[in-house]
Amino acid sequence: MNLVTVQTHDALVPASTPPAARRRGRRQVRLRLFSVAVSFAMLVSWGLVSGLGLVSPLFLPSPWRVAHQAVVLAQNGYAGATLWGHAGASQARVTIAFAIASALAVPIGLAMGANRWVKAGLDPVIEFYWPLPPLAYLPLVIIWFGIGETAKITLLTLAMFAPVCLAAQSGVRSVAIERVHAAQSLGATRWQVFAHVLLPSALPEILTGMRIAMGVGWGTLVAAELVAATKGIGFMIMSAANFLATDIVFVGIAVIAVLAIASSLVLRVAERLLVPWRGRG
């Protein structure tokens, strides 16, 4: 076969040159150090303010008292359940609600982004409910679903649904029309355009929406465990507050923070594995 030979003037785009990369790396290290230093300074001022007795421990327990309380809770538990039992119950609720919310919101959001009739039909409902604070509709959820696990998971699911749904919609709508045209002129059917172009194009935004939803879920946890819970970090915080056990409240807050950061990290890793092309077209 007589192949056409091509003279080319373009080459691979060079990866960032080593010196620039090193400079960027050093700046990253300095920024990280600054973050750690500021956090440490805040911890020290907390210790000083509480340690010197400037504020009553009822309002602000000292860091070592909170740390000690954490150890005690880890060993003895709280209100009939271990600290791990409380954390596990909360983690399970958030995880189940996240799974349900994602399973519903991704297809609905994609359909809303791809079809204006679906969007016109569902937009009013979603636009109406999503800015509402979950505490506002908590009483309704309890009246409808009772005081068991169903109500708690329903509340979390409702709160986590909107960010994923909106992200999936916007992911579909931000696909360049030329990319759709290109697939169509290669013979793609409507379904193939959806499966091979719209869905993967929307994936980076969907994953971002999921990360936001995870944050919203943890943010709604205390509200979800407000009524008739016997287990869960949110329950532990509210119950301890009734007894003015401020140090236990602090431990609860710290546990939620750690779990929320861990969930976010897991999703970030998933993003890196699923959409390595992110931000590159």
Partner 1 sequence: MLSVSNATVHYEAADGRLIHALQDVSLGIDDGELVVGLGASGCGKSTLLNAIAGFVKLTSGSITVDGAPVTAPGADRGVVFQRDTLLPWASTLDNVAFGLRLRRIGKRERRERAMELLRLVGLDAFHAAPPWQLSGGMRQRVGLARALATDPKILLMDEPLGALDSLTRESMQELIVKLWARTHKRVLFITHSIEEALILGTRIIVFSPRPGRIVQRFDVGFVHDVLAGRDASEMKADPSFVALRQEIRALIHAGAGA
Using DSSP's 3-state secondary structure scheme, residue 230 falls into coil
Which of 41, 48, 132, 182 is the binder for partner 1 (CB under 8 A)? Answer: 182
Q: Is 17 in the site for partner 1 (CB under 8 A)?
A: no
Q: Is 174 in the site for partner 1 (CB under 8 A)?
A: no
Q: Is 16 in the site for partner 1 (CB under 8 A)?
A: no
Q: Is 119 in the site for partner 1 (CB under 8 A)?
A: no
Structure-block tokens of residue 182: 């290109």
Q: Which is nearer to partner 1, 42 or 176 (CB)?
A: 176
Helices (H), the chain: 18-51, 63-76, 83-114, 116-129, 134-145, 149-173, 177-184, 190-193, 199-224, 233-242, 246-274
Least separation, in Å, of the C-beta of 237 and partner 1?
A: 43
- Tokens 């969007």 belong to 119
Work out the angle at residue 84's Cα, subtended by the Cα atoms of residues 69 and 234, and round it to the nearest 5 degrees. Answer: 75
Contact indicator for 263, 194 with CB cutoff of 8 Å: no
Q: Which is nearer to partner 1, 34 or 277 (CB)?
A: 277
Least separation, in Å, of the C-beta of 185 and partner 1?
A: 4
Q: Which stretch binds partner 1 (CB under 8 A): 10-18, 65-73, 110-118, 207-215?
A: 10-18
Burial of 67 from C-beta contacts in 10 A (0-12 / 13-18 / 19+): middle
The phi and psi torsions of 77 (rounded to 5 degrees) equal 75, -175
Work out the angle at residue 124's Cα, subtended by the Cα atoms of residues 95 and 202, and round it to the nearest 5 degrees. Answer: 50
User: By CB under 8 A, how many residues form the interface with partner 1?
Assistant: 33
Least separation, in Å, of the C-beta of 280 and partner 1?
A: 4
- Tokens 């080459």 belong to 11
Q: Is 281 in the site for partner 1 (CB under 8 A)?
A: yes
Nearest residue to 138 (alpha-carbon basis) of 51, 220, 232, 37: 220
Q: Is 75 in the site for partner 1 (CB under 8 A)?
A: no
Least separation, in Å, of the C-beta of 259 and partner 1?
A: 31
Which of 24, 27, 181, 268 is the binder for partner 1 (CB under 8 A)? Answer: 181
Q: Which is nearer to partner 1, 82 or 184 (CB)?
A: 184
Using DSSP's 3-state secondary structure scheme, residue 185 falls into coil
Q: Is 144 in the site for partner 1 (CB under 8 A)?
A: no
Least separation, in Å, of the C-beta of 127 and partner 1?
A: 24
Least separation, in Å, of the C-beta of 3 and partner 1?
A: 6
Q: What residues make contact with partner 1 under the rule CB under 8 A?
A: 2-13, 176, 178-179, 181-189, 192, 196-197, 200, 275-277, 280-281
